[in-house]
């Protein structure tokens, strides 16, 4: 009798474990098969249009030079982004970009992301100075900052829409 009860419990547990829907986690920037496509075409996920990469430690100019090389090889615009956790326009912009709300307005772009509070000294030493944040700089090929830059924004939920046209104006011609 115990064997029968155990076997019934095992079958029930196995059935429950295999039923139900499970959504596979999708990484930002992951590639996915287009649903319902007649071909085996692979499309890039929407969130991959705007990509943030943490800068990490090291020489700022060298890190930016690596970004420029990598982003251009991928057909993306490289951009240096300096924000801070306490910066309201930074938070609104970052969140809107992460949710894909800016995809239709921005070209494929990779932001090398710095935190002003953590990276301030090395940013200043590399020439990435600003009076306000967020700071967006379209870098030169050698990793140094170009004159194509914008800084600051309005506060509130409208900041991403205020930032986008100004950012587009500083991107180099493609």
Give the chain's domains with CATH numbers: 47-170 (3.40.30.10)
Angle formed by the axes of helices 159-170 and 88-98, nearest 10°: 80
Q: Identify which of 94, 85, 154 has the alpha carbon closest to the alpha carbon of residue 117.
A: 85
Q: Is 36 left (phi over 0), alpha (psi -120 to 50) or beta?
A: left
Average pLDDT over every residue of 103-131: 97
Instruction: In whole angstroms, give the CA distance from residue 161 to residue 92.
Output: 10
Q: CB of 161 within 8 A of CB of 95? A: no
What residues pair up with 80 in beta bridges, in sequence order?
A: 112, 137
Helix/strand/coil for 43 = strand
* Lowest mean pLDDT, pick from 19-28, 109-118, 128-137: 19-28
Residue-wise pLDDT for 43-59, tens only, equals 333 347 999 999 999 99
Q: Is 159 left (phi over 0), alpha (psi -120 to 50) or beta?
A: alpha
Residue-wise pLDDT for 137-165, tens only, equals 999 999 999 999 999 999 999 999 999 99
Q: What is the pTM of this model?
A: 0.73
Q: Give the confidence band of 115 by pLDDT, cuts at 50, 70, 90.
A: very high
Helix (H) or strand (E) holding 39: none
Q: Give the confidence band of 64 by pLDDT, cuts at 50, 70, 90.
A: very high
């Amino acid at each position: 009798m115990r064997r029968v009860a155990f076997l019934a419990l095992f079958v029930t547990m196995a059935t429950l474990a295999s039923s139900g829907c499970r959504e596979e986690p999708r990484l930002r920037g992951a590639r996915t098969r287009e649903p319902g496509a007649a071909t085996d075409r692979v499309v890039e996920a929407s969130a991959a249009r705007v990509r943030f990469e943490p800068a990490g430690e090291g020489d700022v100019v060298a890190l930016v030079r690596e970004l420029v090389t990598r982003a251009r090889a991928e057909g993306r615009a490289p951009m240096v982004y300096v924000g801070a956790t306490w910066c309201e326009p930074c938070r609104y912009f970052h969140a809107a970009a992460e949710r894909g709300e800016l995809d239709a307005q921005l070209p494929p772009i990779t932001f090398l992301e710095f935190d002003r509070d953590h990276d301030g000294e090395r940013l200043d030493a590399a020439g990435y100075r600003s009076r306000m944040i967020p700071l967006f700089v379209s870098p030169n090929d050698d990793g140094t900052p170009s004159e194509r830059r914008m800084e600051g924004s309005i506060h509130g939920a409208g900041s991403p829409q205020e930032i986008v046209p100004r950012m587009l104006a500083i991107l180099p011609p493609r």
